Amino acid sequence: MTDALRYLQASRESDIASLQRLLHTGKLITTVSELVHQLQRERGASNIWICSQGKLFAEERTAREQDVNQCQRAFLRVLPPAAAQPGYSRFCNVIAAALQALEELPTLRAQLAQRQLTHAQAMSAFNQIIRTLLNVVFEAADTASHPDISRALIALFSFMQGKELAGQERATGSAGFAAGQFSDEQRRRMVALIDAQEQSFATFSQFADSDALLHWQPLAQASREIERLRRIACTGGQSEEAGALNWFSLLSARLDQMKILEDSLSLTLMSRCREAIRVAQQQAAAP
């Protein structure tokens, strides 16, 4: 083998190693997706529990805690080794931040149970934990060099970000409807969250493949009932007696439908990683 061929072989093997790291990162991101979804469900149950002064969703809150704990264990199992690698610093840093945030969960739950936190404080704490996990996905998308995989990562991250904003909208709306009226700050936040969702989903639409866009089409516009309740929330209209639970149920159903598409986006990411590895291995084996 000539020197040129040896360097060419080294280049191909480096590509394969990089793609295999991306494949493992894809598995990590899939686990993050599930953990974020379960945290969103726990946040939602805790939100209704707080808004009802502990009268509603006590059992659901406990069940959601257990679901999160199970997903958290799965997340820990797929973490990459904490070993120094060139260009690996930022990714290790966001993982460390996510782990530190998750360590705060038991304290947050204890404070909730003892009613030491306001609704706004509790939701902010959940939002921060979820934000650190989404940063793991963002960092992976920002560092991927393979074009097809990069597009799949950006589509997935943008969609997860939009879904998280929809979850925050659910929490803000539930609080306002439970109180019987929306404060000026809550109305402004509702408008901002709706606008931010549209921006995230617009980015997703730019990078998603045709199958994902086809599945997104029925979800892209909220239902008429959600839009009606949004108008009440954003304009200070008369709240309804059953508004909080109705709103929570409608938004929860929409978030669950989004999770189905999110799972499909994760599968697309994994498929593109495996295909890229297959192609690279064929090229490496070629004379």
Q: What is the 3 state secondary structure string of 118-155?
A: CHHHHHHHHHHHHHHHHHHHHHHHHHCCCHHHHHHHHH
Angle of the 3-51 helix axis to the 243-285 helix axis, nearest 10: 170
Which tens digits make up the pLDDT trace of 32-45?
A: 999 999 999 999 99
The pLDDT of residue 180 is above 90: no
The pLDDT of residue 253 is above 80: yes
The per-residue pLDDT for 13 is 83
Report which of residues 79 and 83 the model is more confident about: 79
Mean pLDDT of the chain: 91
Helix (H, G, I), strand (E, B) or coil at 262: helix
Query: Among 66, 187, 65, which Cα is nearest to 126's?
Result: 65
241 — pLDDT class (breaks 50, 70, 90): low
Task: Compute CA distances 70 → 74, 101, 110, 158, whole Å.
Answer: 7, 16, 18, 25
Task: Compute CA distances 9 → 1, 2, 182, 277, 281, whole Å.
Answer: 10, 11, 64, 15, 11
Q: Mean pLDDT, to the nearest integer, of 185-204?
A: 96
Cα-to-chain-centroid distance, residue 121: 20
* Cβ atoms 161, 134 nearer than 8 A: yes
Q: Look at the block and give the residue holding tokens 């493949």.
A: 209
Task: Tell me how far apart the alpha carbons of residues 160 and 276 are, in angstroms, rounded to a whole number.
Answer: 24
Query: Among 152, 126, 150, which Cα is nearest to 265's?
Result: 152
1 — pLDDT class (breaks 50, 70, 90): low
Residues above pLDDT 70, as percent of the chain: 97
* Cβ atoms 67, 41 nearer than 8 A: yes
Q: Look at the block and give the residue holding tokens 């606008």.
A: 195
* Cβ atoms 173, 187 nearer than 8 A: no
The per-residue pLDDT for 194 is 97
Query: Among 257, 272, 253, which Cα is nearest to 217's?
Result: 257
Where helices occur in the chain by DSSP H, the ranges are 3-51, 58-77, 89-102, 105-113, 119-143, 147-179, 184-207, 210-220, 224-235, 243-285
The per-residue pLDDT for 267 is 93
Which tens digits make up the pLDDT trace of 196-219?
A: 999 999 999 999 999 999 999 999
Residue 281, number of CB atoms within 10 A of its CB: 15
The per-residue pLDDT for 287 is 61
Q: Mean pLDDT, to the nearest integer, of 52-68?
A: 94
pTM across the whole model = 0.91
